[in-house]
Amino acid sequence: MTDTLESHIPGLLDQLEGKSPAQAFQILTAQFPGKVTFSSSFGYEDQVITHDILSNGLGISIFTLDTGRMFAETYSVWNSTNERYDTRIKAYYPNHDMLENFVLERGPNSFYESVENRTGCCYIRKVEPLGRALRSNTVWITGLRAEQSNARKDLPMVEWDAKHGIIKYHPLLHWTFEQVKEYIHANNIPYNPLHDKGFVSIGCAPCTRAIRPGEDFRAGRWWWENKSDKECGLHVGTSGSEDTRENKAEAIVYT
Distances (CA, A) of 52 to 44, 147, 182, 187: 13, 21, 14, 10
Containing structural domain, residue 34 = 2-254
Q: Decide if 232 is catalytic.
A: yes
pLDDT, tens only, 198-250: 999 899 999 999 998 888 877 888 988 876 555 555 655 543 444 434 444 45
Q: What are phi and psi of 245, to 5 degrees?
A: -65, -40
Secondary structure percentages of the chain, helix, strand, coil, to 5: 45, 10, 45
pLDDT tens-digit profile of 99-158?
999 999 999 999 999 999 999 999 999 999 999 999 999 999 999 998 876 667 778 999
Average pLDDT over residues 22-35: 97
Q: What is the pTM of this model?
A: 0.87
Exactly one of 121, 204, 207, 232 is catalytic; which is it?
232
CATH number for the domain spanning 167: value is: 3.40.50.620
Question: Is residue 168 helix, strand or coil?
Answer: strand
- In whole angstroms, give the CA distance from residue 42 to residue 74: 7
Compute the distance between CA of residue 188 and CA of residue 106 in angstroms, rounded to an integer. Answer: 43
Cα distance between residue 224 and residue 113, in whole Å: 9
Residue-averaged pLDDT of the chain = 89
Q: Whats the size of the chain, residue-wise?
A: 255
Q: How far is CA 168 from the centre of its chain?
A: 11
pLDDT of residue 60: 98
Please write the tens of the pLDDT for every residue from 176-192: 999 999 999 999 999 99
**What pLDDT is stored for residue 148 in this prediction?**
77
Which one-letter DSSP state was computed for residue 140?
E
pLDDT at 128: 97
Q: Which residues contact 159 (CB under 8 A, 6 or more apart)?
A: 9, 167, 168, 170, 237, 238
**What CA–CA distances, in Å, run from 128 to 16, 246, 253?**
30, 10, 11
Number of domains the chain is built from: 1
